[in-house]
Every structure is written in C-alpha cells, then in structure tokens.
Structure 1
C-alpha cells in the first residue's frame, strides 16, 4: 500500500495545475520594472509640460510689453515713455520680473526697445524691436 500511495502522490505532484511562488515573484518583478519605466516617461512628460507652460507665459508677457512700447512710440515722447516704463518695471506680472528699456545708438535713427522677462534670476523670454518716436525729441546717452 505504501508503494501505491507513493505512486499516486508522485503522479499528483507531477501534474502542474498552478504556479510556484518563484514564478509569481519573477512575474511581479518583471511587471514592476515595466510599470516603473512607463511611470518615468509620464513624470518626464509632466516636467516638460510645466517648463513649456512657463516659457509660453513669459513669451506672452514679453509680447505684451513690446506692444506697449510700440504704442508708446506712437503716442508719447521718449521721456514720457521712459517714465512709464520705470513704473511698469516696478511691477511683477504672474511672478515674472519684466525689464523694458528704450535706447538709441548715436549712429542710428531708430530707437531700440528691449524686453527681458525673468523669474528667480533665470531668463525665460527676450524680445527686441525698433521704434520711431515721431513726436519725440532726441535723447542723448
């Protein structure tokens, strides 16, 4: 009877109807590696989106400031525009520091308007335009 029992137990053990603990652990390890890889892609994409949003916002602020300088060049004198720029430079827009400036090189007929947009010391947008102050008197630098 002992040999009959051993024979049937061997037959039962030789039939694999499930998974061993080692197989389960190996499959969990492989699955966790795949999931971790995909999660790192999503995290990197989120960081890139945040950086892009910041640069876009800074660019829109710089464009708005350039348009303001253009408006000043059509309606104000250089001195008035410089005073208005000083008050605008003192303000922060959406956490960005905006620095606008108007200057003229001695050998040029047009003024140069520049805008720099930065946050925490890092520049995010820079724009430049040429301006003609028709109503303006010459300013000497």
Structure 2
C-alpha cells in the first residue's frame, strides 16, 4: 500500500539520487533532519537577540539530538499506541524535538512532576494537602 507521507516521499527522492539500496536509510533520516531543523528554527525564534550569534551551534545540537532520539521515540510511541509501522511518526517527533529547543530540562521537570502526582494518587497519598 503506497502512502503519501514525508518518509515515503523522501525515500522515493533518495532512491533517484542514491539508488534503492541506500534510499531506505537516507530517506527517513532526511525527514528527521528537515523536521528537526524546522522545529529548531521555531525554538531559535524564542531566544533573545544576543543568543542568536550561536545559531549554527544551536541548530547542529538540536539536529544531532533529533537524529539520535527520534527513531527510538517513534518506536516507543508506536508500541504504546499499538502501531507496527512508525515511519509516519518520524517527522512530527523530530519537529517536536527541535521545537522544544533548550526547554528540555523544564519539560522533563514538568513531566516528572505530573508522573509523580499520578503515582502519588494511585498510592493513596493526599497530594501534599495540609
């Protein structure tokens, strides 16, 4: 079944440029790189003007992060959602990774606080109420 999603389009283009043997590898990672770059551009817009001098390093850091974690996150999300084919999730997850930018520590604290509250409620805690 042919689907018109970013990964399949990138694989088709990569097969013309690099041949079918490499297209299956290059296509998905091209999508990850493009999506994380767009997300990083959004995140860069939130930074102050003086910090924009390091924009190239900022893009490199976020793109490298997206290249390293997107496939794993898509696999985890696909398993959690009950999907076998997770290729369609690569672009949105890479976009999210780039878009969060330097806010990962703050996002992680927020997630851990929420998970802690859920676990506390399940354990029968009072949520810190006095």
Q: TM-score of the superposition, structure 2-length normalised? A: 0.27
Q: TM-score of the superposition, structure 1-length normalised? A: 0.25
Q: Which has the bigger relative contact order, CA under 8 A and spacing at least 6?
A: 2
Larger Cα Rg: Structure 1 or Structure 2? 1
Structure richer in helix, relative to its length: 2
